[in-house]
Amino acid sequence: MIFYFSATGNSRHVAKVIAEKTGDRYADITECLKKELYNFIADKSENIGFVFPVYNFGLPVTLCRFIDKLNIKTNGNYIFTVATYGGFSGGASKIIKKMLAEKNIAVKAQYSVRMPDTWTPIYDLSDKNKVSERNKEADKAADKIIKRINKKKNGNFDYRHIPFSDYFYKDYENLRRTSSLSVEDSCIGCGMCAKNCPENAIEIRKGKPAWVKEKCAMCLGCLHHCPQFAIQRGENTKKHGQYVHP
Ligand SMILES: Cc1cc2nc3c(=O)[nH]c(=O)nc-3n(C[C@H](O)[C@H](O)[C@H](O)COP(=O)(O)O)c2cc1C
Ligand code: SF4
Ligand code: SF4
């Protein structure tokens, strides 16, 4: 069983290609949370994986919520994590390993894959060729990970971790404020942003999204998936473009 959290498709893609090659099932953490599915029994033959994006050198709050509630009966399974990231994975692998250990889920191997950086308040994803090259490299990295998973390798293969990243992760709390998100007049009130928000932080009011929680996961899923590209965060996101994994 491979659990994934993904706002813009990178982690979903990696979870899917791993599952296709290992024969494992895969499950969307956002769906599990929405349907309150937290209890799982792992068959002896299956791997257990967690695939997720790095946020502020740490973990998305949605993933933490799921792990808090997760109750999984393991059976000597090979357990691994895969962090997808744009630059550095920071302390994400270390944090998830500790969280899972507290639930008696002993991680055997940790991996990471560099992918297009969806934090477009800073990173520019408007050059489609560069984005496509990055995704080709990511697929090669995923192939190497699959080989190691199939050989049940143990160890830390997350080569982009940074030891002292706590300070940056603490700042995620400030970054999560929904007051930083805005909507432009081009919004057609389709409701997609509200329906797909993993934190249920959006309601459609008077035909436009309204952020009804003070903080969200700041996954930028609403910004990148909007059919009108009407949601923005600050001055740069418009020129840096929208992105979802092809
Ligand atoms: C709020 C936020 C914070 C991020 N922080 C980091 C980071 O600290 N380091 C990094 O390398 N990438 C960072 N990224 C980029 C994502 O981890 C990366 O693009 C990931 O593959 C997105 O996965 P997804 O498409 O499955 O959501 C961040 C993205 C977001 C939205
Ligand atoms: S997804 Fe975009 S167009 Fe649809 S309601 Fe949300 S902001 Fe408006
Ligand atoms: S409001 Fe937007 S950025 Fe925040 S969690 Fe929901 S989809 Fe993600």
Å from CA of 151 to ligand 1 middle: 28
Q: Domain residue spans in the chain?
A: 2-167, 176-240
Does the pLDDT value for residue 244 go beyond 80?
Answer: yes
- Alpha-helical segments (H) within the chain: 10-22, 29-35, 61-69, 92-101, 128-150, 166-170, 172-175, 192-196, 221-225, 237-240
- Number of neighbours of residue 71 by Cβ within 10 angstroms: 9
pLDDT in tens, 74-120: 889 999 999 999 999 999 999 999 999 999 999 999 999 999 999 99
Selected from 1.20.140.10, 3.40.50.360, 3.40.630.10, 3.10.129.10, the CATH number assigned to the domain covering 2-167 reads: 3.40.50.360
pLDDT in tens, 139-172: 999 999 999 999 999 999 998 877 767 878 989 9
pLDDT for residue 165: 73
Q: Which CATH architecture has domain 176-240?
A: 2-Layer Sandwich (3.30)
Output the residue whose Cα is nearest ligand 1's atom 29. 119
| 67 CB near ligand 3 (under 6 Å) | no
pLDDT for residue 209: 98
Please, are residues 169 and 91 in contact by the beta-carbon 8 Å criterion?
A: yes
Q: State what percent of residues in the chain have pLDDT above 90.
A: 93
Measured from the CA of 190, which atom of ligand 2 is nearest?
4
pLDDT for residue 217: 98
| 217 CB near ligand 3 (under 6 Å) | yes
CA distances from 235 to 168, 231, 238, 239 (A): 22, 12, 7, 8
Q: How many CA atoms lie within 13 A of 131 on its CB side?
A: 18
Please, are residues 77 and 106 in contact by the beta-carbon 8 Å criterion?
A: no
* Tokens coding 183: 């909507």
Residue identified by tokens 């299956």 is 46
Q: 169: closest CA among 93, 236, 222, 242? A: 93
Question: In one letter, which amino acid is 51?
Answer: V
Select the more confidently predicted residue: 162 or 6: 6
pLDDT for residue 156: 95
Output the residue whose Cα is nearest ligand 2's atom 3. 187
pLDDT in tens, 198-216: 999 999 999 999 999 999 9
Å from CA of 183 to ligand 2 middle: 8
Q: 114: closest CA among 98, 130, 97? A: 130
| 8-14-20-24 Cα dihedral, nearest 10 degrees | -100
| 223 CB near ligand 2 (under 6 Å) | no
- pTM of the complete model: 0.96
Question: In one letter, which amino acid is 11?
Answer: S
